[in-house]
Amino acid sequence: RRRRDVELTDRIREVHDESDGIYGSPRVHAILKREGTRVGRKRVERLMRQAGLAGISPRRGKGFTRRDPNAELAPDLVERDFTAPGPNRLWVTDLTMIPTGEGPLWLS
């Protein structure tokens, strides 16, 4: 089993290097499976972890908004109660900035 692990680790390292270090264990496992190598996904995960290989996570970075710690907070006029006693009595909005190729787009 150790000999097979060494062979698999070499092939896993090749697949990982061919992807420029982007592919994680699910994609590496899929490629090995497509090539006809019979190996479990968890074994690929373990061998990658032991070899110090990891893919790049698609998760986003931190959010857009950065609060100025010295800024004065706006008054909470609705006191966090967003129920209106009748139509056209309470209006609230949210400002959202969407990055585009031509620059940020502000929506409200």
Q: At what angle do helices 41-51 and 2-18 cross, to 10 degrees?
A: 80
Proportion of the chain in helix, strand, coil states, percent, rounded to 5: 35, 10, 55
| pLDDT tens per residue across all 108 residues of the chain | 999 999 999 999 999 999 999 999 999 999 999 999 999 999 999 999 999 999 987 776 666 667 788 988 888 888 888 888 899 888 877 777 777 777 777 665
Token pair, residue 67, equals 């609060």
Residues 6+ apart with CB under 8 A from 43: 8
Q: Which amino acid is at 85?
A: P
The CA distance from 47 to 41, in Å, is 10
